[in-house]
Amino acid sequence: MRSLRPWATRIARSSGEGVALLQEHRDSLIDELWLDHDLGGDDSILPVVTPLEEAAFNGRPFRIGTVYVHSANPIGAETVVRSLTRWNYQVRRVTL
């Protein structure tokens, strides 16, 4: 388990919870979105990345200040960075 920064306000522990949080905040500005590729078991962040990509494809991207990608899985993290950068989200790879 990773320690969280004190300004974190909402936490999703699964991709399903992450998608639900995105939809809940669809019309809000999300200042920071932190994504970890591997969520445990067979779950990954990719189901959360998909609606972000789809929204951008449809011309209505989520309003996100910066997406921070942190993961002990460098290949998975790079996949997320490339996917979201392609759709003009501001993305940073972070090592913790």
* The predicted structure's pLDDT at residue 1: 44
Tell which phi-psi region holds residue 83, choosing left (phi > 0), alpha (psi between -120 and 50) or beta.
alpha
Is residue 36 domain-resident? yes
Is residue 2 domain-resident? no
84 CB-contact burial (10 Å; exposed 0-12 / middle 13-18 / buried 19+): buried
Q: How many domains does the chain have?
A: 1
Say how many Å lie between the first and final Cα of the chain, rounded. Answer: 12
Is residue 5 domain-resident? no
- Closest to 78 in 3D by CA, of 94, 90, 96, 64: 94
36: containing domain: 15-94
* The predicted structure's pLDDT at residue 67: 97
* The predicted structure's pLDDT at residue 78: 95
Is residue 10 domain-resident? no
Specify the pTM. Answer: 0.86
* The predicted structure's pLDDT at residue 11: 86
pLDDT along the chain (96 residues), means of 10: 57 94 92 92 95 97 96 93 97 88
